[in-house]
A and B are shown apart, each in its own frame.
Chain A
Amino acid sequence: MKTVKNIMAKYALMLIVPIAGFLVLWLVFPKAVGARNIPSLLKQAIAPAVLGWGVLFNMKVGNWDFSVGSEVLISSIIGGNLAIMYGLGMPGMLVLTVLIGLMAGAAVGLVYYMLKIPTIIVSIGMLLIYESLGSYVFGGAGVYIPSGWKLLGTGALFAIAGVSAALSYFLFYRSGIGYHVRAVGNNASVAAVNGLNVYKVKVFSIAIAGMFSGIYAMVCLGTSGVQKTVGSMNSMGTCFDAMMCVFVGMSISRRGNLIAGIFCGSIVMQLIKLCLMACGFPSEYNSIVIAVFVLAFMAMDSRARASAAGKRKSRAAGVA
């Protein structure tokens, strides 16, 4: 009974928020929203969630890594073009994008480790380099994968999401590095006193985020079939989408599973977009509305957490 109660406490909010949100939209906009939207909502939530599962590691340890979007860019362009060049097909492209994403992330991490300057500076510097690299390699044409490779139907997409979620769960909750990430994220100084190399943990987090950039690149290429070159720091927006999923996911998962929370967070973000569409909001205002929503959500969450922490402290005092 206690276990059921614990599970309910951990997962109730993360399920209630997207379900209640969807039901409210259905009630308010019965013509625009209905059960038919559910499959596409879930499908659209996959890509940001995949990137969010990687960005989670960075956000947990306090890295501000804005290079993630540019890592997506070069993994798509280099991985996709190499796969086409050598006729490796979809599986080969998957391996290459993930590998290049991992290498790009590791390179950002190494630069950070060597220079020991804030991640925000390192990541913006590397973002500029990666964007330029993307515009230079393969004639600056980006990548257009053969139409036959666009095989990412719903089944394949969900399979990739499942594997990514399992990988992120394993790394975050079951591996040594995930254990270190959670320790450093919650108290870096105590972690350091206990022998953890905080810099190393931060570097690994950046590399893991890079690996998930590769998976995200694959998901995007597999669905759209194209990746154009990007400059002027425009790739930065990609990581904000993922960060918002993580913010919302962290809020609604409370003490529950963060990986599931991030997917639910991604669904919530899609619901907001659906709501804006149903309201007939011009798409250029989408970012403003989403940003306002996230700020309001975080403010409410912050107050709720402070109050819960106070209650927990009182409970602990009562026990003592």
Chain B
Amino acid sequence: MDDVILKLHGMVKSFGSTKAVQDVSMELRKGQVLALIGENGSGKSTLMSMVTGTLQPDKGRMELKGKEYVPDSIIAAGNSGVCILIQELGTIDGLTVAENIFLGKEKRFASGFRVSSRRMNQAADELLQSMGVSHFDAKTEVDALSFEERKLIEVCRAMYNDPDILIVDETTTALSHTGREKIYTIIENLKKQQKAVVFISHDLDEVQKVCDSAMILRDGSYIGTLYGEEVTPENMRQMMIGRDLSGNYYRTKGTTYVKEEVALDVRNIQYGILHDVSFQLHRGEILGLGGLTECGMHELCKIVFGAIKPDAGEVELTENHVKITSPAVAIKNHIAYLPKDRDNESLFLMTSIKDNITVASMDRLRNGPFITRKRERDLADQAAGQLSVKMRDVEQLTKELSGGNKQKVVVAKWMANESDILIMDCPTRGIDIGVKAAIYKLMEQLISEGKAILMVSEEIPELLGMSDRILIMKDGTINGEFDRSEEVTEKSLIEKLI
């Protein structure tokens, strides 16, 4: 019993009528790497929010190293040895690496009012060295660093507390292979030091690789725990969904709806890292665009939608020869864009589902200068219903939805606008396999109706499983093109990708 670090007893948390966590108990032992898995909305993040003090439980109690544990903030949790790495970016522009690492802890380097930047930089450099980071130093301003490098700073911040428990909350989703490997090494080291790790991820293969046990939640309730050899994607999937998904939810091989007609012509785009990028998107086609996180593919999506003005090149709708120069032009011509960062770039979290769905369809709803509430509500109801968004009603605040359901709202918005061309940047990022399957099914339905989809993905199986054609980008240029075929394998894509 002595090796139990954290014990949760009968944890309960509700938001209004929604029971997010229902009577969940858990034990975490020294040296254990426990995966916490479940569909979006299963209660994983809520449970961990209670452990890190960002939410207070309605019922239940926690014990840390045998003592009552009641954290009232993420700082209190950190001081007790419970640290968390979050999915989104947690560093601050305009500050140096050292200032970011020691944010909120600068008193350790203060004498009187004065904070010694020399001592702070020295400590940060030592920490960076111990983490094997050598290509930037403590004085570097974080603005100059890539997403992955900035994630490493967050890791350094967490490790500085010498945590007994590290919670990795979908952090790896946004990282490349190299970035993920660094996190795995840290987890391995913590395990060797008899510390514990709670690992949250939707990537079941990754869970199998990293974790020695997996606890499954469904609809806020505890379902079971798998140990050792039992931790397989099939077992986990079965317990998460409660039904057999038979492994394959991608498109059936051999089916194609691709037409000769070109929907969108992208010519000679130059912007930042992007160099002379050209391609054509056909009606009825899913064109997959893959590459490492920062190869320029995400910027390319924004350019195609008109959200970024390229230094050179153009995007043209072939049907009417309209040049896409702004999002307003794109929306008017029924082009949809689902950004990678949906919370910040796609949704108004503090407004209703209805407002989010109808925002791109105001022209359709307008009757002269008036918009009737009924028409607005009907459109939102219809689009949300089509996508089976799990909600109380369309007046519910969007921020209260799980990640997968938020993504459904984004898709519903563009469905309501009757979009013909969809630019989907990582459409299944951070969402569970149930919603993933629904989105894949919808994508296939859309192309069968003659619509065209440009899909950016950082997951190779998704590219292979869904695309009619795949473009692989490397350092801002198209480095390879593959047609849908049995002969195209993960290996052939990776060869062009790295």
Binding site for B on A (CB under 8 A): 170, 174-177, 179, 182-183, 185-187, 190-191, 193-196, 255, 309-320
Contact = CB atoms under 8 A, between A and B. Distances in A.
B75 A195 contact: yes
A295 B469 CA distance: 49
B74 A193 contact: yes
B272 interface: yes
Interface string B70-95: 00011100100000000001111111
Contacts of B114: 170, 174-175
Nearest to A315: B144
24 contacts: A174-B115, A174-B117, A176-B115, A177-B113, A182-B99, A183-B99, A183-B103, A185-B94, A186-B93, A186-B94, A190-B89, A190-B90, A191-B103, A196-B104, A312-B143, A312-B144, A313-B272, A314-B272, A316-B146, A317-B272, A317-B295, A319-B149, A320-B149, A320-B294
Contact of B92 (A170, A176, A190, A314): A190
B31 interface: no
Contact of B95 (A176, A183, A314, A315): A183
Interface of B: 73-75, 78, 89-95, 99, 103-104, 106-107, 110, 113-115, 117, 135, 141, 143-149, 157, 176, 271-273, 292-296, 475-476
A195 B104 contact: yes
Contacts of A317: 146, 272-273, 294-296, 476
Nearest to B54: A193
Contact of B293 (A177, A187, A315, A320): A320
A49 to B, nearest CB: 22
Given A194-B104, A320-B149, A311 B272 contact: yes
Contacts of A176: 106-107, 110, 113, 115
Nearest to B112: A175
A182 B143 CA distance: 14
B90 A314 contact: no
The 8 A-B pairs of least Cβ separation, nearest first, read A314-B272, A195-B104, A195-B75, A320-B146, A317-B294, A186-B94, A194-B104, A194-B103
B294 A191 contact: no
Contact of B475 (A179, A315, A318): A318
A182 B94 contact: yes
Nearest to B107: A176
Nearest to B120: A179
B272 A195 contact: no
A175 B93 CA distance: 19
Most chain A CB inside 10 Å of its own CB: which residue of B103, B148, B149: B103
A310 B115 CA distance: 32
A175 B120 CA distance: 13
Contacts of A179: 99, 106, 115
A320 B106 CA distance: 29
A190 B154 CA distance: 11
A320 B148 contact: yes
B161 to A, nearest CB: 12
Contacts of A187: 92-93
Contacts of B176: 320
A182 B98 CA distance: 14
A279 B417 CA distance: 56
B53 to A, nearest CB: 11
Contacts of A182: 94-95, 99
A255 B96 CA distance: 12
Contacts of B148: 320
B108 to A, nearest CB: 11
Contacts of A186: 92-95
A309 B91 CA distance: 16
A309 B144 CA distance: 9
Contact of B273 (A183, A194, A196, A318): A318
A311 B271 CA distance: 9
Select the residue from B94, B293, B295, B296 with max chain A CB neighbours within 10 A.
B94
Given A176-B115, A177-B113, A316-B294, 15 more contacts: A170-B114, A183-B99, A186-B95, A190-B89, A190-B103, A194-B157, A195-B75, A195-B103, A196-B103, A255-B141, A309-B143, A314-B273, A320-B146, A320-B147, A320-B149
Contacts of A194: 75, 90, 103-104, 157
Contacts of B476: 317
A174 B118 CA distance: 11
Contacts of B292: 320
Nearest to A309: B143
A175 B113 CA distance: 5
A313 B274 CA distance: 12
Contacts of A175: 113-115
Query: Which of the listed residues B113, B117, B271 has the most CB atoms from chain A within 10 Å of its own CB?
Result: B113
Contacts of A185: 94
Contacts of A170: 113-114
Contacts of A319: 135, 145-146, 149
Nearest to B84: A193
Q: Among A312, A317, A319, find the residue whose CB has the most chain B CB atoms closer than 10 A.
A: A317
A179 B107 CA distance: 11
A182 B114 CA distance: 15
A317 B104 CA distance: 29
A309 B272 CA distance: 10
Nearest to A193: B74
Nearest to B298: A317
Nearest to A183: B92
Nearest to B114: A174
A46 to B, nearest CB: 25
Nearest to B78: A195
A309 to B, nearest CB: 8
A311 B144 CA distance: 10
A317 to B, nearest CB: 4
A162 B113 CA distance: 20
B49 to A, nearest CB: 12
Contacts of A315: 144
Nearest to A320: B146
B239 to A, nearest CB: 32
A318 B273 CA distance: 7
A310 B476 CA distance: 14
A311 B104 CA distance: 31
Nearest to B272: A314
Contact of B74 (A195, A311, A312): A195
B146 A191 contact: no
A275 B117 CA distance: 42
B232 to A, nearest CB: 33
Contacts of A310: 271-272
A314 B295 CA distance: 10
A27 to B, nearest CB: 35
A170 B103 CA distance: 18
A175 B107 CA distance: 10
Nearest to B135: A319
A177 B113 CA distance: 8
A174 B293 CA distance: 36
A274 B89 CA distance: 47
